[in-house]
Amino acid sequence: MKKVLISATLLLVSLEIMAGPKNVANGKFLFEDWGCKSCHAIGSQYNQDATKGPDLKGIFQRRNADWIKKFTKDPQAMIDSGDKDAVEMHKKYGTVMKKFKMADNEWNDIFEFLKSQK
Ligand code: HEC
């Protein structure tokens, strides 16, 4: 019985660590719930007003994962730091994406969702 419990716990722990369909689904929910969809299209989904923010389809193919993490955590700080890509985008769109008070695990789920949108 103890063994079964231990393996069940281990399984749960590894499921938590591994990103799975559950994370992607939650990421989609968060993307909509936090209002990302009001400024970003993903291909033919969501807001098609391309003046608000870039289309995020294939974002993880276009950009480095560390860059995406850093940028989304604090867009204004990234622009202020003089990062070439952030400054270029900022010139193009005129608005600055706001800083979201979101937990790291929520960001991770959003990233899993965006990774799935190739
Ligand atoms: C008020 C509009 C707005 C909202 C809401 C918004 N963004 Fe943005 N986002 C932008 C703009 C504008 C840019 C371009 C950079 C800049 O000027 O800040 C951007 C850039 C990005 C980028 C980089 C895109 C690229 O091509 O490199 C990512 C990734 C991103 N946003 C993700 C998100 C996520 C995830 C959310 C929701 C948690 C979100 N955004 C909410 C306006 C918005």
- 4 within some domain: no
Note if the pTM is more than 0.85.
yes
Q: Is 42 in the pocket of ligand 1 (CB under 6 A)?
A: no
Segment holding 30, helix H or strand E = helix 21-33
Q: Is the CB of 35 under 6 A from ligand 1?
A: yes
The verdict on the CB of residue 28 being under 6 Å from ligand 1 is no
Q: Is the dihedral of CA 6, 10, 15, 16 positive or negative?
A: positive
On whether residue 103 sits in a domain, the answer given is: yes
Q: What is the pLDDT of residues 11-51, one digit of tens each?
A: 666 555 677 889 999 999 999 999 999 999 999 999 999 88
Q: Provide the domain limits for residue 72.
A: 21-115
The strand pairing partners of 41, in sequence order, are 46
Number of domains in the chain: 1
Which H/E stretch holds residue 111? helix 104-115
The residue nearest atom 24 of ligand 1, judged by CA position, is 54
Across 103-112, average pLDDT: 96
DSSP-derived pairing of the beta strands 45-46 and 41-42:
antiparallel
Residue owning the nearest CA to atom 25 of ligand 1: 54
Amino acid at 5: L
